[in-house]
A = this chain, B = another copy of it.
Amino acid sequence: MNKFLKSFQMGEENYLPHVSIDCVIFGLTDNSLNALLLKVTGTESWVLPGGYVEKDESIEDAALHVLKSRTGLTDIYLKQFMTTGNSERSFPDDVRRICESLGIEWTEGHWANKRFISICYYALIDVNKFKPTGGELEQEYQWVDIHNLPQMLMDHDNILRKGYEALKENLGNHPIGINLLPDKFTMPELQKMYEIILDKTLERSHFQKKMLRFDIFRRLEERREGVPHKRPFLYRFDENKYQNELKKGARFDV
Contacts and interface: CB of A to CB of B under 8 A. Distances in A.
A196 to B, nearest CB: 17
A81 to B, nearest CB: 10
A154 interface: no
A17 B85 CA distance: 14
Q: Count identical subunits in the complex.
A: 2
B172 A85 contact: no
A87 B57 contact: yes
A175 to B, nearest CB: 15
A138 interface: no
A26 to B, nearest CB: 20
A119 interface: yes
A165 to B, nearest CB: 13
Contact of A58 (B53, B85, B169, B251): B85
Contacts of A172: 173, 251
Interface of A: 16-19, 53, 55-59, 61, 80, 82-87, 115, 117, 119, 169, 172-173, 251, 253
